[in-house]
Each structure stands twice: as C-alpha cells, then as structure tokens.
Chains A and B, each alone.
Chain A
Amino acid sequence: MSIGASLKRLEDYNLVTGRGQYVGDLQFPDQCEAVIIRSPHAHAIIRSIDVEEARGFDGVLLILTASDLPDDLRPIPMRLSPDPILEKALQYPLAKDRVRYVGDPVAVIVAKNRYAAEDAADFIHIEYEVLPPVTDAVQSLEPEAPILHPDAGTNEMYLIHGRKGEAAERLKTCEHVLEEELYVQRHSGIPMETRGLLALCDEGERLTVYGAAKVVHFNHQLMARLLNKNIDEIRLVETDCGGGFGPRGEFYPEDYLIPFAAMRLKRPVRWIEDRLEHFKATNHSREQKHRVTVGFDGDGRIYALRDEIFFDQGGYIRTHGTTVPSLTQAMFPGPYDFSDIEIVTHLVLTNKTPVGTYRGPGRFEGTFVRERVIDMVAAYLKLDPTIVRERNYIRPEQMPYSNGLSALGQVIEYDSGDYAETLDRARKFMGWEQFAGKQSRARQEGRFIGLGFASFVEKSGFGPWEFAEVEMRPDGRVICKTGLTEVGQGITTTLAQICSDQLGIPYGDVSVVHGDTALVEKGNGSFATRGAVVGGSAAWHAAGLLKEKLLKVAAGQLEVPVDMLALKDGGVVYAEAGQAAMPLEELLPICSDLGISLCEKYTFHIEHMTYPYGCHAAEVELDPDTGALQILNYYIAYDLGKAINPMLVEGQLIGGMAQGLGGAIYENLKYDEIGQLVSGSFMDYLIPTSMEVPEVTTEILENYPSPLNPLGVKGAGEGGTVAVAPAIANAIVNALQEYAIPFTSLPLRPERIREALKQRKPER
C-alpha cells in the first residue's frame, strides 16, 4: 500500500541536482527583458508621462504606458467571491490617471536585457500631483479621509454582516462581559522565488506563457479574455515553482502586460520580479483590527460573541474579492459552540499594496483573536484556560455542526472531529499539570517561563470540482494528468501514491502531468488546501475506473468473475489468496489487441468543504532584561482524517509553523504616514531563520476521516500556521501572569515585552 507511507518525493532528484526549471532558468533565442516602472507615491494624480528620452537608449525595444493599451481593456476581475459592488475598485494593468499605492504599475520598458531596461527606466519622466494618502483602515472611514476611487464614492467597499441568534440581546443577560481590541499586522507569503513570466508569441499570433502557477486554467481563460484572443491561441505552462503560499499564481497586472509586450514585439519577453519589487507588488495579507465582545458565565461558558472587524484591503480589489474577510468571519468561532454570534466586517481601502490570501487566510487572524480572548476570559475568572476551552468546545456528538455563518458561497458545516482530544494530547505532552510548579521554581531562579495553548479548526477541500485523467501506457507506466499545480507541496508524489495504490504498481512508475493547458484539459488548481482532497479524489476515481477496466479484461481472459481479482505487485492477482494471475506485461498487449483504451477521466465534485483541526502548544522563556523570547518546546496535534504521506504532512506542519512564527514575532509590512513601505527588503522584513524556528514535535492523528471524500482526507496545508501566534502570545502572558499585560497585537516584539516589563510593576 502506497497510501499512508512516508515515501521519498519524486520531485526531489531534479531539485537537489540543480536540474530544476524555474521560470527564470528558461532562455530562448532573441529573448528580451521587461522592467515595470512603479509609482513612488502612495496616492497621486499622474499629470504626464514622457518616455522619449528613454526610448532613445541603446537596447530599448518597447515602452508601454496606459495610453498604449487598448481603449476597451477591462480591469483584472475577481476570481473568488466576486461581487459587483467591488468592481469600481478593480485594478487595471497600468494605472491610467491615478496611482493608489507605492508600487502601482505605471509603465513597462522592454530592452535587450534587464541591465539596459533599468538604465533606460531612469529616463522615463513622470509628473505626479501628490494627494494626501490614507494608511489606516479605521481612519479611512472618517469623513475627511481622501477617497481612493471617486467612482465608488467611499473607501468602505463592502460590509459583511454574519449572525446566528441575537448576540446583542444575549450579551445583556450574561453574567460577565469582556470587550477587547486586537490587531494583526500586515505580512505575506514571501516565497523564496519571486514571481516571473516568460511570454513567446509566434508569427501566427499564438502565445505561450511560462511561469503560470496555482490556478493555471483559470488564468488561461482570463488571459484570453483580457487580451481579446481565442483560448486555443494561448498556452499557459507551469514551471518549477519556488513557493506559493497564496500570493503567487493569482492574476496580476504583469500577467497581462508581459504577454501583451510579447505580442507587440514578436520576441520572447521575460520578466523576473526583483525582491524589492516583490515586497510592493505582490499581494500583502492579514491586516485586521478586531473589536470583540464576549458574554460568559462564572464557569467560563461563553454564550455570546460580537466582533467588528476592520479589514485593510489596500489600494484595489484584487482577484480574491471578499474571500479573506468572509473566511475570517465564518471561521472565527473556531471549535467552540457559541449560541449567539454577530460579526460585522468592514472591507476598507487604504493607500497600500492590495491584499489577497496567505496560508490560512482569515484563520491566522481569527485564531489569534479568538484564542487570546479565551485566555482573557480565563484570566478574568482566574480559571485554567484549558478548562475554559473544554467547557466551550463543540462535542463530537454535535457533528455535523453548523455555526450558522457562511463563506465562499457555503454555510460552514463541520463534518466530524473531537476538539477536546487534541487539547488533551497537547496538555499531556507539554506537562501542563505539573507546569505551575515548574514555573514557580524557575521564577525563584529569576527565570520567566510560560506555557500557552491554542485550538483551531481549519477548512480544506474547496470545490466545486477537480479533474484527473489516468492512462496506462503499453509499457505499464502510468501518466496521471491533474488540474492541480505543484507549488512545492509535493502533489506529484501524493498523486503518484494514490494511483499506485489503485493500480498495484510502484509509485515511481507514475508520471504526474500538471499545469500545462495544452496537456491537461481542465482544472481548478492548488489553493485553499484543496489538492489532496479534491484532486486526490479525482485521481483516485480515475485510477479506479482504469483498474475496473483492466480487471474486466483479465477476468474475461482467465474466465473468472471480476470480483475474484485485484491489482497488486505489477499484475493481476487472485484477491483472496494473493497469488499471481496475470502480469501486466501479458494483460496490456491483450488490451491493445482488443482495441481497449486504457485512459480514464474523472471529474470529482464536492459541495461542502471538510474541516481538519488541532491544537498548538508553546513553552517559552523570556529574558527580563532584553525581552527576548526563546521557544523551549513546541507541539502540534493535528487530525486530518487520513495522511497520504505522513512525511509530507509533517513537512507541511513544521514549515507552516515557521511561517506562523514569522507572523507572530518577526514579519511586518510596515508603512509610514505618507504611505511608504518601510520594511520592503530582507534587511527589514524578518523571515525566521534556522536560529529562530525551534524543533517542533508533531502528532498526526487520523481519528476522524472525512465522510465527504473516498480517501477520508482533510488536507494538511494550513494547520501548521494558523495557531502559532496565539499559542506563543498565551505563553508570554502566562509567563508574565502577575503583570496583567494583555498582548493584544501582533507582532509580539521583544521590545514590547521589555517595555511592558519596565512600565508595569508586578501587582503584589
């Protein structure tokens, strides 16, 4: 059995030997290179653009401004959660008359190479009339705030109102009420490879674009629509991809501009995003303010939850529409059974880089706020925070359970799970029962240690469908075509294992083809932890149909009923005893002689998402002099129904934890008051290194397989990330419990820990 085995990845040989082919590695004859000229201002009117001097430079081939693009060009539409109200704030590939964030594309310059293009870029003269910017979502709603999109007439582009029961009424009757403001800072996926594209256009106007990722087939359709071409005149090809995490692979202005430039020049045009450019141009994420109110009784049972969320969208609506704010809301109650809920989210424009999804969108933010609030309730009542969690969990017998809220066009309905169990495992592993004693002994030695927990529910397996085509070749090798894409998560190995399991062949005999619109007929792509659930199930079914076909032919030849046979060890075997009946080498020529096609397609549809869950726990030590934080022990329990490859799941959890840690302590896309990004380099934007990321212990549980797909899988992509910030924040607060410092905003910087320790004397 391949499924469930920690098999080595099929992806790795090329990648460890330097044979990978990332988009920047491709080179075609006559290739030239594009550089994007971007706004240096957060908010300004473009008065004039003079490109004449730059045009005269050696090696310059083409300069484009908005006036060079077709008059009827439409802005880039929303891919997910679209709403007509938001259309007035969509982004055009090049700014026409106004720029709305530092990094807004204004012109494109193509030259023989990037050195020449950058030389000439300095001589494009753009006159701006600088307007006052707004850089804070709450301020952006004030009457005197400058309006970003005059056609829209307001910076509040959207209001989402979700409710179950009567939270306002219920709060009036609660014994205790707690109100808090919490904040999650801007940060983003920041993959190690920046974005890049390479577009070729032949004399017959046929376009090939390398560097597509994530949602290749969707972008294929969109590119055809925006470029006004037939879909069969364009081919999108995925290359090796240096990390996805949400931002990469969405349709950005460059996804229009680079193919457009190639069509104009009839030469291969390459654009590789510069790292400093990446920080300004590629989607940001996460920035939210919450004003949350909870009502509870003396035992810590929470009845009513009210939250008002201010969601900082940046300068434009991009491809995710309302996805992140609506997911924030709908997943905000997490694993708890609150009877009355009311959540209002304001989606607000500011003069900053537009935002989209980043690993665990909405859940990283919501889990931080919710799990801090749970600990605050516990602190208020002087109760054990793990007991408060236990008293509020949805119980297994309440499944399936709906919290009454909706996102991505469906009502949230948890399918299965036992939330208390993962907390219990975390408590035992971390020694919670003995911790108070350990903590007081440490304090006597002058050491500040603390232990914190955070529970979470994830969502995965977003539909509506995924496609697979599985073919067995005459030599017994299998080709599995999938609509998914590879962003480093190991989908090639995962699908090979699934096909191997169905067809009884080694997983190394399966070649997975993905991300090429000329080879794979359709697909929805890799995002929202949907790959293994939806694409895996499609491959399972397609390979299953192929298995049935093979067994039927074998049964005919062997003159036995089909159900007596199975596929195993590279051939047909008798199911019961397992002895060989007919090797594939014998069966495949027979199929060929009979004219039987050994290729099966399957489109797997799924209406509801599935919900993995778990618990994070962190033990930290704080340096009372410097505020420095050290993670002594970190644990994740995660129930994902079924792990296809536990090694890859562990890799997702630990890698995800490192990103969550970045968001908890280090990463911050910070703007000054005039809207300049002040942390736009790796010198200022701190990605955790091997010195910051601790050793992480993971426990992968398979207690509650999803009833919604044949594999029982619930997905592994995001559970490592979403609960890191509250686990660490709760541990910090636990270490400093007699200081009564709230720690309600991210990142949890050491200077804040130090300041807090200096300013507030212990309450003795």
Chain B
Amino acid sequence: MTEKTAESSRLKTITLKVNHKEYTVDVEPRMLLSDVLRDELRLTGTHVGCEHGVCGACTIMMDGRPVRSCLVFGVQADQADIVTVEGLESQDGELHPLQKGFWEKHGLQCGFCTPGMLMTACHLLEHNPDPSREEIREAISGNLCRCTGYQGIVDAVEYAAKEMRERAE
C-alpha cells in the first residue's frame, strides 16, 4: 500500500452543520473538533487557549450544549448541529445582544477569550433570562479571562439579559 492510500484509509468522512450551513469533510479520527473548525472549515473565531479543557476559549454550542471543542474529536461531531461565534449575528448582520453588551460595557480587551465567553453566556441566557451577578459569575467561571478581571463581562451579560428580556416583551 502506498503512503497516500494509507493516509486516506485513515480518514473518516463527517457531515456537520455549523451556523446553519452543512459541511462534509474528511478528517483523521484523532483530529480535534477545534482544529476541524479552524483549519478545515476556516472558522477561526473559535480560539484555542490551552488544549486541555480548562480555559474555555474554544467553547462552542453543540446540539444546544456548550462544549469545549478542544476536548471533542471531529468524528464525534458527525451529524452535530454546531453554533460558533460567527453564528451569533443575525442574517442581516445585526449583532447579538451579548456582542453589543461586550462592546458597550468594555467586556473585552485582547478579545481572545471573548468568543468562548459569548458562547457560554449565550447558553446561560437561554436558560436563565434574568440572572443575578453571582449567577453570571458562576456561569462563566469555566472561562478564563486574563485581561478584564471579569467585571466588564458581568456588566455585559447583565446588559444583554436586559435587552433580550425587553425584546421578548
């Protein structure tokens, strides 16, 4: 067997939906979902900060749950429905209330943890539309930020929660 066929025989074909768009890609079984998203699908908004599941920068929504894409193999995401930071804006380009909140309330500095923070906060607000500051802090406690000291992020999530409640009324 030539090297090339040896390699292609290791590849698995997966189909996944990311931000409402369907993709079919051939990946090595060991390839991390974070690398599939970033290197194969070129969705580089999802960041990789530690590759051992602690920092939360690579958090995405997979089948409605926030997951760390560095702890998931691409092949495990076959048939999954995924939302990344690139999928938060509305179709006409309007920012998600959380994106607005982070901008308004100085919820970011270097911006590297921001996509993961946004996805985690998104999940919080889907389940708790009116969280207290303490609840927000607890919800984002699996996402490390080295710049802001979190206060602006808590302010931002509060801002977004309020805007989303007002919209729903």
Contact = CB atoms under 8 A, between A and B. Distances in A.
A115 B39 CA distance: 12
B122 interface: no
A687 interface: yes
A24 B58 CA distance: 13
A17 B141 contact: no
A275 B86 CA distance: 25
B88 A690 contact: no
A245 interface: yes
Contacts of B38: 24-25
A6 to B, nearest CB: 8
Interface in A559-574: none
B111 interface: yes
Nearest to B113: A192
Contacts of B67: none
Nearest to A192: B112
B151 A654 contact: yes
A651 B106 contact: yes
B88 A27 contact: no
A488 B147 contact: yes
A9 interface: yes
A658 B110 CA distance: 15
Contact of B146 (A16, A240, A687): A687
A658 B154 CA distance: 14
B137 interface: yes
A683 interface: yes
Interface string A682-706: 1100010111010110000000000
A308 interface: no
By secondary structure, the B interface counts as: loop
| Central interface residue in A19, A25, A190, A656, by most chain B CB within 10 Å | A25
Given A24-B48, A193-B49, A682-B50, A16 B108 contact: yes
Given A193-B49, A682-B50, A693-B149, A241 B103 contact: no
B15 interface: no
B92 interface: no
A485 B13 CA distance: 43
B81 interface: no
B14 interface: no
A19 B31 CA distance: 24
Interface in A2-19: 8-9, 11-19
Interface string A272-316: 001110000000000000000000000000000000000000000
Nearest to A687: B144
Contacts of B152: 651, 654
| Central interface residue in A15, A24, A488, by most chain B CB within 10 Å | A15
A20 to B, nearest CB: 6
B109 A690 contact: no
Nearest to A650: B106
A191 B150 contact: no
Given A16-B114, A25-B44, A58-B7, A690 B106 contact: no
Contacts of B112: 20, 22, 191-193, 242-243, 488
B32 to A, nearest CB: 10
A12 B102 contact: yes
Contacts of A16: 85, 95, 99, 102-103, 108, 111, 114, 118
B137 to A, nearest CB: 4
A657 interface: yes
A696 B106 CA distance: 15
Interface string A23-38: 0110100000000000
B168 to A, nearest CB: 22
B59 interface: no
Contact of A695 (B143, B151, B153): B151
Nearest to A720: B149
Given A25-B38, A115-B30, A655 B111 contact: no
A742 interface: no
B25 to A, nearest CB: 15
Nearest to A58: B3
B97 to A, nearest CB: 11
A578 B5 CA distance: 77
Interface in B31-55: 31, 38-39, 42-52, 54-55
B75 interface: no
A12 B31 contact: no
A633 interface: no
Contacts of B55: 192, 275, 682
A683 B51 CA distance: 12
Contacts of A682: 50, 52, 54-55, 144
A16 to B, nearest CB: 4
A193 B38 CA distance: 15
Contact of B47 (A242, A245, A658): A242
Interface string B124-162: 000000000100111011111111111111100000000
A497 to B, nearest CB: 14
Contacts of B149: 654-658, 693, 696, 720
| Central interface residue in B42, B84, B102, B150, by most chain A CB within 10 Å | B150
Contacts of A18: 43-46, 84-86, 88, 115
Contacts of A193: 47, 49, 110, 112
Contacts of B140: 690
Interface string B60-75: 0000000000000000
Contacts of A14: 111
A113 B39 CA distance: 10
A192 B151 contact: no
A653 to B, nearest CB: 8
Nearest to B104: A8
B46 to A, nearest CB: 7
A659 interface: yes
Given A655-B149, A682-B52, A192 B89 contact: no
B26 interface: no
Nearest to A275: B50
Contacts of A21: 44
A168 interface: no
Interface string A580-613: 0000000000000000000000000000000000
A243 B144 CA distance: 12
A266 B116 CA distance: 35
Interface string A486-512: 011110000000000000000000000
Contacts of B110: 191-193, 240-244, 487-488
A647 interface: yes
A744 interface: no
B77 interface: no
B44 A243 contact: no
Interface string A72-103: 00000000000000000000000000000000
B108 A20 contact: no
A241 B47 CA distance: 12
Contacts of A658: 145-146, 148-150
A655 B143 CA distance: 15
A204 to B, nearest CB: 29
B57 to A, nearest CB: 6
Q: Which 8 A-B pairs have the closest CB atoms?
A: A18-B45, A488-B110, A15-B111, A242-B112, A682-B54, A658-B149, A25-B44, A18-B85
Interface of A: 8-9, 11-22, 24-25, 27, 58, 113, 115, 189-194, 240-245, 274-276, 487-490, 647-648, 650-651, 654-659, 681-683, 687, 689-691, 693, 695-696, 720
14 contacts: A12-B108, A17-B45, A20-B112, A22-B47, A189-B146, A192-B113, A192-B147, A240-B110, A240-B111, A245-B146, A488-B109, A658-B145, A687-B146, A696-B151
